[in-house]
Amino acid sequence: MIDLTLEEVARITGGTLHLAGEATPQTVVNGAVDTDSREIGPGGVFVAKPGEFTDGHLFADAAVEAGAALLIVERLVDAPVPQVVVADSVDALGELAHEVVRRVRELGALKIVGVTGSNGKTTTKNLLRTVLEGVGETIAPRASFNNEVGAPLTMLEVTESTRFLVAEMGASKVGEISRLVRLARPDIGIVLKVGLAHAGEFGGIEATLAAKTEMVSDLLPGDVAVLNRDDPRVASMADKTAARVVWFGIGEGADVCATDVVATSEGTRFTLHLPGGESRPVVFRVLGEHHVMNALATAAASHELGVGIDAVVSALESVTRAERWRMEVLGGAGGVSIINDAYNASPDSMAAALKTLAQITGPGGRAIAVLGEMSELGELAGDEHDRIGLLAVRLGIDQLVVVGTAARRMHISAIKEGSWDGESYFADTADDAYEWLRPKLRAGDTVLVKSSNSAGLRFLGDRLGESFS
């Protein structure tokens, strides 16, 4: 964090400063800010956040022992360091992030890119970080730090030398992205896709659309909205922003587009086209044709930030995986490949992963899909699990393994569609699935493991990968 006095922190957060030791209101703090006491280091600022299962105030002692120089709390705790008592620690965290970003931005060098969408946020964030790091100091979220806590923590990492901030913005209800946009004030807002991910929490696809539109609705005329031309819902946002629109996509009408797209087991080859007629071939090693759209969004934003096409292509070609547990290729021994994509799952991402599996499985090999629950779909859950079961059969997936009661309708639908001769197997648990599948795998097999994070199949994917490492 940039230098702030204790008095400034209290004023910014609307809190009351309580001094301790030799500290004065003018004592400066500039350490990293975190809500996790385990991440606190010397000089750090610990924000005690009440949670669903525990209370951050209980870990204040641990934060102090780790070197915290300041506690931001909702009630005083017994600690030998200064404390700022606030009404709401999450709101205080956001206000602190907003002010830090504002001050750094006033220096004139910082550019901010906001990224949202039902799918692809983390991949696009990682691609942007890789491209922009080649130009200047870049801050981007750890893991999926994209909510009301994670996004401000990322913003607070900016310093006077930061050139780019990539802010991943997720939401589970209308209004949350708007709040994050207010905190960061992006120069460029990217919307990747509006799909059924978290539709149950939002209350339907129209509410999801309204939430994602918040990324661009508050942009200013001098800003840029980078929008997916191929998604009609995203395309509809062009009428709801004052910003200049830059389109990306594979279909017609995109300013930044891909042609000659060829998906293989090593990744995807395509030709990247930028405004002005520039084009370059790209060998993109992130598995899955659907990730080309994330690469195009990255290229569009990078182009708007003045990054040349050769630097963009070089950075894209250097990336080998989207993220841990996202289309991560494991195994290889004995000719068996494991694709572990079980960190998140929505109907759109599940369908895209299955299509990739069908595309890349080599002649004589078997396409095997190990699928678990797609969570947070609400009343759409039954129909969407049915649809994925049908799709697996229609794509010619050789073996379907469905894991967990919540995903069972995939198995039933696959059987009804034609997988009645053992092509679909149901396992109650991940351990059951492993014990059934592991001895049946042979050279040439490609195994996709896909589910929402809550289903825990990412650990099954790791286990299968280790078996063939």
User: Residues marked as binding for ATP?
Assistant: 117-123
| Structure token pair of residue 216 | 């661009």
Binding-site annotation: residue ranges: 117-123
Q: Give burial (CB, 10 Å; 0-12/13-18/19+) of 50.
A: middle
Phi-psi region of 21 (alpha: psi -120 to 50; beta: other; left: phi over 0): left
**From residue 126, how far is each of 141, 170, 297, 315 by CA, in Å?**
9, 15, 12, 11
